[in-house]
Structure 1
């Protein structure tokens, strides 16, 4: 198995869930192939950054230089994973992916992009319209819209700044450290107000899927009349495919 590097801490709850999902997914893989207990999981190293620090270092959209200190924190974390002997890395957060083009400079370790995996998962549902929900950085950036467009999907990026700020507040107040019933209600109210019928709603903050524990490992699912895409689950599935590549080849099916 390949060794996975997880860059986590933004925030800690989703980092825990990434580890759990990878471990359980690997367990299912080997159980289905008749492997006895204890079921193997890929070797992993987690490098956890401090969210309070990275939040304070966020730059201004369109001003590359203002993001330099933010980029360095994540680049150094990836270099630590590289030195730890990881074969590839995943960043267990949507927000830093908006800076992936800069963060990965000088890093030779392959990094699986959450944008690419989410776009493929969204396209697989047949949806042609998407609503991207997440932090202010994620919603203001064009990364998801541009990646989705290569699959013939238009992202709804017309929300006013006040609504984007409301979503950021929701993440900070209701989802940090997990998700309460209030968080789920507040999220669904936002979806009801902004998602047209047939829209794929991207839960593009790794804490947001925690509002739907019954669907936590589903890449796509329906709930309360909406179609949701879970970028975290798509990302984890890609990491498992990469980590278990040799085992799949050795044990067809």
Structure 2
């Protein structure tokens, strides 16, 4: 079964690094036209832009800080001006920090909630005029939302709320032919592992190898595949679901 997305217009938020980058590139290679966004300039922005250019298609890498609702609205307006429609959305943009709950400042709570949850609400809401029957929204959650993770109360709260948002929207938007699902990754090896000391990275790999049924971390491509499936027509009767992609953690 080919996960083909030929001719589909997709928005993938937070697509320059990690899981979002993998999804954006996989979608482009599957034939979709992709708009993705980033918060600040970096080498990752330049390399993604080059990679998408080599892939072929009508792709755009735009700056937008999704922690700011006005920036979200500007991004969707630009998508409307460029394409006039959307066939799929992947709400991937997110931030994380590790702070004891007793010390968690209100502004940090708001920053994490705004980027991980409020941005998804606004992206979907403002995109509704662009989404027709057969379109698909995939929200990137986290396996940690179900398990709970110390020092990440704000992050896990946002990701848990994403599941509730998804379930409600699946029922509300279903009569319009719009599907809404969650993909909840486990521990995925991204370029962040390259940025940490080698000893710590090796320790994390060993720890999670013992905690997963498949005895290893996941890869970005192993998240992109299920996301593309949910975006495509093969998943036309799937909505309101949370798909855990975690190696059996």
Give the TM-score, by structure 2 length: 0.43
Higher relative contact order (CA 8 A, sep 6+): 1
Give the TM-score, by structure 1 length: 0.42
